[in-house]
Structure 1
Amino acid sequence: MAKTTSTRAGTGRKRVSKVHENQRLKGRPAPPKKGKPGAKKPSTSSARTAAKPTPAPKKAKSGPTKAQPRRSIFGILKQRLGSGLGKQVHHLIGLGMVLLGVIAGLALVNAAGPIGQGLVDGIRWLVGWWVFILPAILFGVGLTLLLGEESYAYSRTLFGVGAQLFGLVGLFHLMTGNPAFADGADRFQESGGSLGALVAYPMERMLGFWGAVVMLVVIVSGGAIVTVRASIREVLVASGRMVANALGKIRAALRSSGNGFARLLSRRKERQKMRSETAVVSVPRRPPPTPSPQDSTYLTEQPAASPEDNPPAEKKVKPTQKKKKKPASSSSSNGDGYQLPPLSLLDNPQSSPRSGRMIQETARQLEATLRDHEVNARLTNVVSGPTVTRYEIELAAGVKVARVTGLSGDIAYALATPDVRLLAPIPGRSAIGVEVPNKSRSLVTLGQVLASEQSDNDVHPLTIGLGEDISGRPAMINLAELPHLLIAGATGAGKSSCINSIVTSILMRATPKDVRLIMVDPKRVELGQYNGVPHLFTRVITKPKKALEALQWAVGEMDRRYELLAESGVRDITGYHEKYDVGLLEPARFDRFPYLVIVIDELNDLMMVAGRDVESAIVRIAQMARAVGIHLVIATQRPSVNVITGVIKANIPSRFAFSVASQADSRVIIDSVGAEKLIGMGDMLVITAREPRPQRVQGAWVSEGEVAAVVRWVKEQKSADYKKFTEEVRQAQIQMVSEEDEGEDPDLIRRAGELVIRSQLGSTSMLQRKLRIGFARAGRIMDILENKGIVGPSEGSKAREVLVGADERVDA
Structure 2
Amino acid sequence: MSKKERPHQPKIHSETKNSLIAIALIGIAVILILAAVDKAGPVGRFIYVILQNLFGWGYYMLPTIAVLVAFLFLIARQRVFVVTSFLGAALFIVSGLGLIDIIFENKGGFLGRIMGLLEIPFGYTASIIISLVLLIAAVLITFNASIKFKKVETEKLAEPAREAPDNEPEEAAITEPEPPIANPAAVAKMDKIKIADDFPMPPARKSPVRAKTYANYIVPPLTLLKTSVEKPTSGDLRANANIIKRTLESFGIAVEMGEINIGPKVTRYTLKPAEGVKISKILTLNQDLALALAAHPIRIEAPIPGKSLVGIEVPNKSAAVVRLGSLMAYPDFKESGPLAFILGRGVSGEPVMADLEKMPHLMVAGSTGSGKSVSIHALLVSLLYKNSPDTLRLALIDPKRVELSIYGGVPHLINGRLWPRD
TM interval, shorter chain, is 0.5 to 0.7
Q: 1:169 to 1:367 in 2, by over 3 A?
A: farther
1:563-614 deviation per Cα after TM superposition (whole angstroms, max 9, x unaligned): xxxxxxxxxxxxxxxxxxxxxxxxxxxxxxxxxxxxxxxxxxxxxxxxxxxx
Q: Which residue number corresponds to residue 342 of structure 1?
A: 220
Number of equivalent positions: 359
Q: 1:499 to 1:237 in 2, by over 3 A?
A: farther
The CA deviation at 1:127 is 1.6
Is the 8 Å Cα contact of residues 267 and 315 (structure 2) preserved in structure 1? Answer: yes
1:600-634 deviation per Cα after TM superposition (whole angstroms, max 9, x unaligned): xxxxxxxxxxxxxxxxxxxxxxxxxxxxxxxxxxx
1:671-682 matched pairs, under 5 angstroms: none
Q: Which residue number corresponds to residue 111 of structure 2?
A: 195
Matches of 1:338 and 1:105, distance apart in 2? 58
Is the 8 Å Cα contact of residues 163 and 220 (structure 1) preserved in structure 2? Answer: no
Q: Which residue number corresponds to residue 210 of structure 1?
A: 126
Q: Which residue number corresponds to residue 7 of structure 2?
A: none
Matches of 1:516 and 1:100, distance apart in 2? 60
Q: Which residue number corresponds to residue 169 of structure 1?
A: 97
Aligned: 1:435 with 2:313: yes
Matches of 1:124 and 1:371, distance apart in 2? 52
Matches of 1:491 and 1:169, distance apart in 2? 63
2:253 maps to which of 375, 378, 381: 375
Is the 8 Å Cα contact of residues 377 and 394 (structure 1) preserved in structure 2? Answer: yes
The CA deviation at 1:220 is 7.8
The CA deviation at 1:98 is 5.3
Q: 1:215 to 1:391 in 2, by over 3 A?
A: farther
1:240-274 deviation per Cα after TM superposition (whole angstroms, max 9, x unaligned): 9xxxxxxxxxxxxx82577626x87xxxxxxxxxx
Q: Which residue number corresponds to residue 108 of structure 1?
A: 36
Matches of 1:370 and 1:528, distance apart in 2? 52
The CA deviation at 1:498 is 1.1
Matches of 1:465 and 1:142, distance apart in 2? 35
Is the 8 Å Cα contact of residues 57 and 108 (structure 2) preserved in structure 1? Answer: yes
Q: Which residue number corresponds to residue 178 of structure 2?
A: 260
1:702-713 matched pairs, under 5 angstroms: none
Q: Please list every run of 5 or more consecutive structure 2 residues that lacks an aligned counterpart in the other structure.
A: 1-16, 74-80, 151-171, 191-205
The CA deviation at 1:475 is 3.2
Q: Which residue number corresponds to residue 159 of structure 2?
A: none
- Please, what TM-score do these two structures have when normalized by structure 1? 0.36
Q: 1:167 to 1:363 in 2, by over 3 A?
A: farther
Matches of 1:106 and 1:404, distance apart in 2? 57
User: Aligned with 2:55: secondary structure?
Assistant: helix
Q: Which residue number corresponds to residue 408 of structure 1?
A: 286
User: Aligned with 2:363: secondary structure?
Assistant: strand
Aligned: 1:129 with 2:129: no
Matches of 2:298 and 2:147, distance apart in 1? 25
How large is the Cα RMSD of the aligned pairs?
5.2
Q: Which residue number corresponds to residue 524 of structure 1?
A: 401
Q: 1:433 to 1:105 in 2, by over 3 A?
A: closer
Q: 1:441 to 1:239 in 2, by over 3 A?
A: farther
Q: 1:375 to 1:121 in 2, by over 3 A?
A: same
The CA deviation at 1:521 is 3.3
* Aligned partner letter, 1:521: D
1:393-412 deviation per Cα after TM superposition (whole angstroms, max 9, x unaligned): 33333211122112223334
Matches of 1:427 and 1:95, distance apart in 2? 42
User: Aligned with 1:519: secondary structure?
Assistant: coil
The CA deviation at 1:138 is 7.1
1:637-716 matched pairs, under 5 angstroms: none
1:319-330 matched pairs, under 5 angstroms: 320=184, 323=187, 325=189
* Aligned partner letter, 1:192: G
The CA deviation at 1:375 is 0.9
After superposing the two structures, state which structure 1 stretch, 506-515 or 419-428, moved more.
506-515
Aligned: 1:506 with 2:383: yes
Aligned: 1:483 with 2:398: no
Is the 8 Å Cα contact of residues 517 and 537 (structure 1) preserved in structure 2? Answer: no
User: Aligned with 1:333: secondary structure?
Assistant: coil
Matches of 2:342 and 2:49, distance apart in 1? 63
1:128-167 matched pairs, under 5 angstroms: 128-134=56-62, 161-167=89-95
Q: 1:109 to 1:508 in 2, by over 3 A?
A: closer
- Please, what TM-score do these two structures have when normalized by structure 2? 0.63
1:483-533 deviation per Cα after TM superposition (whole angstroms, max 9, x unaligned): 222222233332111111222233333455554444343543222222244
Is the 8 Å Cα contact of residues 424 and 431 (structure 1) preserved in structure 2? Answer: yes
Matches of 1:338 and 1:331, distance apart in 2? 16
User: Aligned with 1:194: secondary structure?
Assistant: helix
Aligned: 1:425 with 2:303: yes
Q: 1:114 to 1:524 in 2, by over 3 A?
A: closer
Matches of 2:392 and 2:348, distance apart in 1? 32
Is the 8 Å Cα contact of residues 53 and 110 (structure 2) preserved in structure 1? Answer: yes
1:169-205 deviation per Cα after TM superposition (whole angstroms, max 9, x unaligned): 233223324xxxxxxxxxx2xx10122112331x343
* Aligned partner letter, 2:285: L
Is the 8 Å Cα contact of residues 324 and 378 (structure 2) preserved in structure 1? Answer: yes
Aligned: 1:467 with 2:344: yes
Q: 1:238 to 1:419 in 2, by over 3 A?
A: farther
The CA deviation at 1:109 is 3.2
* Aligned partner letter, 1:509: K
1:56-75 matched pairs, under 5 angstroms: none
Q: 1:477 to 1:537 in 2, by over 3 A?
A: farther
Matches of 1:197 and 1:156, distance apart in 2? 25
Structure that is richer in helix per residue: 1
Is the 8 Å Cα contact of residues 177 and 219 (structure 2) preserved in structure 1? Answer: no
Is the 8 Å Cα contact of residues 54 and 110 (structure 2) preserved in structure 1? Answer: yes
1:139-172 deviation per Cα after TM superposition (whole angstroms, max 9, x unaligned): 9989999xxxxxxx98887666545433332332
Q: Please list every run of 5 or more consecutive structure 1 residues that lacks an aligned counterpart in the other structure.
A: 1-87, 146-152, 178-187, 241-253, 265-317, 547-721, 725-812
Identity of aligned residues (%): 29
Matches of 1:410 and 1:196, distance apart in 2? 56
1:395 maps to which of 243, 260, 273: 273
User: Aligned with 1:488: secondary structure?
Assistant: coil
Is the 8 Å Cα contact of residues 378 and 393 (structure 1) preserved in structure 2? Answer: yes
Q: Which residue number corresponds to residue 785 of structure 1?
A: none
Rg larger in 1 or in 2?
Answer: 1
User: Aligned with 1:120: secondary structure?
Assistant: helix
Is the 8 Å Cα contact of residues 343 and 451 (structure 1) preserved in structure 2? Answer: no
Is the 8 Å Cα contact of residues 97 and 138 (structure 1) preserved in structure 2? Answer: yes
Is the 8 Å Cα contact of residues 390 and 470 (structure 1) preserved in structure 2? Answer: yes
Matches of 2:25 and 2:331, distance apart in 1? 52
Is the 8 Å Cα contact of residues 55 and 110 (structure 2) preserved in structure 1? Answer: yes
1:432-464 deviation per Cα after TM superposition (whole angstroms, max 9, x unaligned): 33233456755544344444444444444x433
Matches of 2:243 and 2:61, distance apart in 1? 39
* Aligned partner letter, 1:465: I
Matches of 1:237 and 1:370, distance apart in 2? 37
Matches of 2:34 and 2:65, distance apart in 1? 14
Matches of 1:488 and 1:424, distance apart in 2? 25
Matches of 2:89 and 2:337, distance apart in 1? 52
Matches of 1:352 and 1:138, distance apart in 2? 26
